[in-house]
C-alpha cells in the first residue's frame, strides 16, 4: 500500500510537471510569436518610413508649386504604381498634402510637403491570440528651400525711367512696373533665411550718393565714378520674427528707390560682383539676380569713346557677367516686358551695336544657363518669377523636418 501510495504521488507530480512544461512552452511560443511578428511589423514600418521620406523629399523639390509637389510625391510613394510600391506591403493608404511651416522661410503660400502612409499588416503567430492584423503608420515632412545652404546674393534692379512708363512709352505716375519689381524682390526675400543668406542691392542708374539712394535716378549719375551702384551692402537684418523687417536698410531702400535715366548693364554687374568679393563670406555661394526691362544703350563718359562700355553696352554686359561667372557666381536674369523696348542694343551714339545683338540675346547671355533666364513678356506681377528663382537657388536644400515621425 505504501508503494502504491508513492506511485500515485509520483504520477500526480509527473502530471503537474507536464502541465507546467506545457504552460512554459506556451509562454515561450507566445514570446517567439511576439518576436517574429514584431520584427515583421518593424520591417514593414521601416520600409514605409523610407518610402514616405523619399516621397516627401521628391515632392519638396517642386515647391512652392503645391500641385506639382503633391503629384511628384505620389510618384515616389508606396501607392499603387508608385516608384517605391512593394507587393510585400499590402493595403497601403497614402495621403499627401502641402503646408506652411512658419518657422521655416519661404511660406508663400507653402514651404513643406507632408506624406502620411498607413498599412494593414497580417501577423503570423499573434493571430493565435486573436491579433490577425496590425496597423502601422508613418509620416514624413520635407521643406524646401530650408535655408541649409548659405548664400551671398546681390540683387541688381533696373530702375530706369522706362520702369515708370506704360507699354506705349507714356509716363506712368504710379511707376507700376517698378513697383511690380519691388514687390517681386520682397517676395524673394520672404523665401530666404537671414541666418544663412546675406543680401545686398545694386541699382542702375547708380545713385548720386548713398545718402541720396532714395532720390530720383538721373542719367548724369552714370558719368561720375563716385556714383554708387551698390546702395545696400550685403546684410542679414531684412527679416525679423519671420517677417520682412521694413526698418532694415535693405527693405526700406527697396521700398523707397525711384526711377529715371536710361540703361547700362555692365557697371552695375561689376559693382555687384565687387561687393560679393569684398564683403561676401568665404566658402559661400555667390549669386546675382539681375532684372531689366530693356536693352543697354549708354555708358559712362569717363570711359573713352572707343570703350565697349560705351560702344557695345549690351555686349559688355554679357562680358561683365561672364567675368562674374568665371569666379563661380551664379547669375539669374529677368527680362521684364522686353518687347516694349523697340530701340534695341545701341552704342552711346544711337547706332546699332556691332556685331548685332538683341536684348533677349543679351539677357540670356548674362545668365548662367538658359534655365537661369526668366522672361516676363508683358507687364505684370513678378512674384512668381522671383519665387521660382528662390526655389531654384535653394535646390538641393530640401530636407526632412522634425515633423517627420513614425
Residues 228-286 pLDDT 10s: 999 999 999 999 987 999 999 999 999 999 999 999 999 999 999 999 999 999 999 99
For the beta carbon of residue 227, count every other beta carbon within 10 angstroms: 19
Tell me the C-alpha to C-alpha distance, in Å, between residue 66 and each of 70, 143, 178.
6, 12, 28
pLDDT digits over 16-26, tens only? 667 666 666 66
Fold classification of 151-399 (topology level): Rossmann fold (3.40.50)
**What pTM was estimated for this model as a whole?**
0.70
d(CA 125, CA 31): 10
Maximum pairwise Cα distance, the chain: 137
Tell me what percent of the chain is helix, strand and coil, each rounded to the nearest 5.
Answer: 40, 20, 40
Per-residue pLDDT in tens (0 to 9) along the chain, 406 residues: 444 444 555 555 556 667 666 666 666 666 666 777 777 778 778 778 877 888 888 888 888 889 999 998 988 877 666 655 665 566 788 899 999 888 776 677 888 999 999 988 887 777 777 778 888 888 999 888 776 678 999 999 999 999 999 988 899 999 999 999 999 999 999 888 898 899 999 999 999 999 999 999 899 999 999 999 999 999 999 999 879 999 999 999 999 999 999 999 999 999 999 999 999 999 999 999 999 999 999 999 999 999 999 999 999 999 999 999 999 999 999 999 998 888 899 999 999 999 999 999 999 999 999 999 999 988 888 988 998 888 788 765 667 776 544 4
The 3-state DSSP class for residue 252 equals helix
- Domain boundaries defined on the chain: 2-143, 151-399
pLDDT of residue 3: 47
Confidence (pLDDT) at 121:
83
Q: How far is CA 162 from CA 266, 291, 351, in A?
A: 18, 13, 20
- Identify whether the C-beta of residue 199 lies closer than 8 Å to the C-beta of residue 285: no
pLDDT of residue 384: 86
Neighbouring C-beta atoms of residue 229, cutoff 10 Å: 24
Report d(CA 218, CA 214) in Å as an integer.
12
Contact 239, 187 (CB under 8 A): no
Amino acid at each position: 500500500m505504501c508503494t502504491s501510495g508513492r506511485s500515485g504521488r509520483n504520477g500526480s507530480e509527473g502530471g503537474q510537471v507536464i502541465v507546467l512544461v506545457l504552460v512554459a512552452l506556451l509562454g515561450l511560443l507566445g514570446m517567439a510569436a511576439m518576436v517574429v511578428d514584431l520584427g515583421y511589423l518593424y520591417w514593414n514600418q521601416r520600409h514605409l518610413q523610407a518610402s514616405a521620406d523619399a516621397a516627401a523629399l521628391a515632392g519638396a523639390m517642386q515647391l512652392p508649386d503645391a500641385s506639382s509637389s503633391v503629384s511628384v510625391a505620389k510618384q515616389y510613394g508606396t501607392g499603387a504604381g508608385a516608384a517605391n510600391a512593394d507587393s510585400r506591403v499590402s493595403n497601403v493608404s497614402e495621403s499627401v498634402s502641402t503646408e506652411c511651416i512658419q518657422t521655416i522661410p519661404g511660406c508663400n503660400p507653402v514651404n513643406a510637403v507632408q506624406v502620411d502612409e498607413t498599412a494593414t499588416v497580417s501577423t503570423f503567430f499573434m493571430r493565435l491570440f486573436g491579433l490577425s492584423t496590425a496597423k502601422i503608420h508613418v509620416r514624413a515632412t520635407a521643406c524646401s528651400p530650408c535655408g541649409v545652404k548659405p548664400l551671398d546674393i546681390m540683387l541688381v534692379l533696373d530702375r530706369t525711367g522706362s520702369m515708370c512708363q506704360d507699354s506705349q512709352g507714356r509716363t506712368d505716375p504710379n511707376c507700376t512696373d517698378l513697383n511690380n519689381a519691388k514687390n517681386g524682390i520682397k517676395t524673394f526675400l520672404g523665401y530666404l533665411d537671414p541666418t544663412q543668406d546675406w543680401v545686398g542691392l545694386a541699382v542702375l542708374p547708380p545713385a548720386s550718393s548713398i545718402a541720396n539712394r532714395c532720390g530720383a535716378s538721373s542719367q548724369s549719375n552714370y558719368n561720375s565714378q563716385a556714383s554708387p551702384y551698390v546702395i545696400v551692402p550685403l546684410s542679414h537684418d531684412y527679416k525679423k520674427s519671420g517677417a520682412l523687417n521694413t526698418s532694415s536698410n535693405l527693405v526700406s531702400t527697396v521700398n523707397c528707390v525711384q526711377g529715371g535715366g536710361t540703361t547700362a548693364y555692365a557697371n552695375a554687374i561689376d559693382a555687384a560682383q565687387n561687393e560679393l568679393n569684398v564683403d561676401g563670406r568665404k566658402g559661400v555661394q555667390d549669386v546675382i539676380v539681375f532684372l531689366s526691362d530693356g536693352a543697354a544703350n549708354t555708358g559712362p563718359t569717363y570711359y573713352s569713346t572707343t570703350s565697349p562700355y560705351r560702344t557695345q553696352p549690351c555686349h559688355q554686359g554679357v562680358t561683365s557677367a561672364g567675368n562674374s561667372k568665371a569666379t563661380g557666381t551664379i547669375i539669374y536674369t529677368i527680362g521684364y516686358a522686353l518687347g516694349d523696348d523697340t530701340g534695341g542694343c545701341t552704342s552711346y551714339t544711337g547706332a546699332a551695336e556691332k556685331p548685332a545683338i538683341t536684348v533677349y540675346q543679351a539677357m540670356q547671355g548674362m545668365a548662367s544657363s538658359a534655365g537661369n533666364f526668366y522672361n516676363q513678356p508683358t507687364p505684370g506681377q513678378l512674384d512668381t518669377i522671383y519665387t521660382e528663382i528662390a526655389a531654384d537657388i535653394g535646390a538641393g536644400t530640401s530636407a526632412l523636418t522634425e515633423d517627420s515621425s513614425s
